[in-house]
Amino acid sequence: MTKIAVFPGSFDPITRGHETLVKRALPLFDEIVVAIGINAGKNYMFSLEQRTSWIKKTFENEPKVKVATYEGLTVNFCKTVGANYILRGLRNETDFAFERNIAQMNQAMDAVVETIFLITNPEHAAINSSIVRDIIRNHGDVSQFIPKGISIAK
C-alpha cells in the first residue's frame, strides 16, 4: 500500500518552515501532496497560480512531492488522492492545541486518516506566512524566510 500524505495550507506564501517540514517528512511517505486549500472567505495576498508556481519551484527536484489545490474539507480531499495521512507542523503549544482539535475532528469524520505532527526546527519556529506577508507589505526583505529561488516582489 502506498503511503500518501497531504500537507494542507494556504501557503500565502510558502516559507522555509513549510519547505523544511516537507523535506523532513519525505522518508516517511511514498508521496506528499502539498495541497493548497481554497477558502472563498479568505483574502490572499498572492494568487493561487503564483502560490502553486512557488511550491512547484521549491520541490522541483523532489519527485515524491506533488502539488494540488482543493476546496472543502481536507479529510475529504485525502480520499480523492488516496491519502491516509495528514501532515502538520507544530511550532509551539498554541499550534498543538489548535491542530489537536482539527485532528480529532478529522478522525471522527474518517477513522482511516491519521494526522502526523512534526515539530518545527527551532530556527523556523518564529516564521509564519502572516508575519512574512506583513514584512512584504512594509517593504522588508523576506529572502531569509522563504525558500531559495523564490522571488517575492509586492
- Catalytic status, residue 18: yes
In the set 18, 51, 88, 133, the catalytic residue is 18
Cβ-contact 137, 154 below 8 angstroms? yes
- Catalytic status, residue 133: no
In the set 23, 24, 64, 91, the catalytic residue is 91
Give how far the C-alpha of residue 90 lies from the chain's centroid of Cα atoms, to the nearest Å.
11
Rounded to whole angstroms, the Cα distance separating 85 from 126 reads 25
Contact residues for 142 (Cβ-Cβ < 8 A; gap 6+): 132, 135, 136, 152
Q: Residue 18, SS3?
A: helix
H-run or E-run covering 106: helix 93-109
- Catalytic status, residue 64: no
- Catalytic status, residue 124: no
DSSP letter for 120, please: P
Rounded to whole angstroms, the Cα distance separating 12 from 4 reads 23
Enzyme catalytic residues = 18, 42, 91, 129
